[in-house]
Amino acid sequence: MASFTTTPESERFVVDFWVTGRCDMECPFCYGADVPLKTQNNTISKNKLLGYSVTSETQLISGSNDPRPEMTFEQMKNVIIKLKAVGVTTLTFSGGEPLLRKEMPDLIKFAHEQSLEIYLSTNGTFLLQKYDLVKNHLSTLGLPLDGSNSEMDTAMGRKPYHFENIRNILRYFYANQPNHILKIGTIVSKINLHDIESIARLLFRNSSSFPPNVWRLYQFEALKEGSKNRNQYAITDKEFSSVCDSVKAKYPDVKIRERSRQEHSNSYFFVTPDGMLQTVTDKHVSIADLLVIDANSLKNYMKQHALVISRASQNRNWL
């Protein structure tokens, strides 16, 4: 295993940066950024969403109640500078699918140059196309896998090509050992509850596949898209705890970290694609406008949410 450095947990200050709501997936449990649906003059088709790059001349209108466009590259850089100034140590770039932003490799490089720890959370669809541009700037790469085979992964809501794409990435890393942490994340739900141990075997008992450094098990949460599909996906706390205990007992040498739905609340700062700073309880709440607030005022806002800073660090103690 190649070496990598991380920020000590006691010093870590994590912010999740949703760079876009656009995504090639349509996961029924997604609680990421809202998908931008319209330009100023017309609706954007799904095909045009893929690879779309936002500039100051391109006004994307959010699918949420806030009609502001996604931030430009320069606006995102300015937000990163503000976050660094108030003590943020770690940025998690996600979305949507972050690699749909054409500027993403340059943004990751810029953030790394600010001495920030970079965690890229991607569904993997475009990763191997852009990996060489980002790999030297990453501390952690996060990928999802929700089934031990394509049928189960698709039943969970992923696109049919997703499973094999993740398998190809793990094979690539087997042949080309990464210089960063690799995390696999799995949503645990009523649909795949019986498949979790099979996913473990696929990840950690496969002779031609790179085993992730961390396997993160997330209890399904009825947030955003998930709120529409609660009956199909929701499991009890006992069911979640039981399956997590079972795989940890069978794989004692593997770093398996679970996150219950209770552990999500008040545990994250999110930067939305249009530049708002949010926290989350049973819903996402905006607390500051990062496009207009100055660093000193932002620091004061952050101090009012000291619990979130602490819980966000604990939530990423596997980094």
Domain boundaries, the chain: 11-315
- Comparing 8-12, 148-152, 304-308, which segment has the lowest mean pLDDT? 8-12
pLDDT digits (tens, 9 = 90+) for 225-237: 888 999 999 999 9
Q: Is 150 exposed, middle or buried (0-12, 13-18, 19+ CB in 10 A)?
A: middle
Other beta carbons within 10 angstroms of residue 289's beta carbon come to: 14
- Is residue 55 pLDDT above 80, yes or no? no
The CA R_g of the chain, rounded to the nearest whole Å, is: 19
Mean pLDDT of the region 144-158: 98
Query: What are 277's strand-pairing partners?
Result: 271, 288
Burial per residue of 83-121, b for 16 or more beta-carbon CB atoms within 10 angstroms, e otherwise:
bbebebbbbbbbbbbbbbbebbbebbebbbeeebbbbbb
Tell me how many helices (H) and strands (E) the chain has.
11, 10
Q: Return the closest-CA partner of residue 145 out of 100, 203, 213.
A: 203
What value, to the nearest 5°, has the Cα angle with vertex 114 and ends 112 and 117? Answer: 45
With 50 as the cut, is the pLDDT of residue 187 above it? Answer: yes
Instruction: Tell me, yes or no, if the pTM score tops 0.95.
Output: no
pLDDT interval class at 54 (50, 70, 90) = very low
Per-residue 3-state assignment (H helix, E strand, C coil) for 136-190: HHCCEEEEECCCCCHHHHHHCCCCCCHHHHHHHHHHHHHHCCCCCEEEEEEEECC
- pLDDT of 162 > 90? The answer is yes
Percent of the chain with pLDDT over 70: 87
Digit-coded pLDDT (tens) for 72-90: 999 999 999 999 999 999 9
The pair phi, psi for residue 166, each rounded to 5°, is -65, -40
N-term to C-term CA, the chain: 15
What's the whole-number mean pLDDT along residues 274-278? 93
Q: Quick one: pLDDT band at residue 51, thresholds 50, 70, 90? A: very low
* pLDDT averaged over every residue in the chain: 87
Look-up: residue for tokens 């609680």? 31
The first and second tokens of residue 45, run together, are 């088709």
Give the pLDDT band (50/70/90) at residue 99.
very high
* Residue 157 scores a pLDDT above 80: yes
Give the pLDDT band of residue 31 (cuts 50, 70, 90). confident
Q: What is the pLDDT of residue 2?
A: 40
Check if CATH label 3.20.20.70 holds for domain 11-315. yes
pLDDT band at 159; cut points 50, 70, 90: very high
Name the DSSP class of 96.
Answer: S
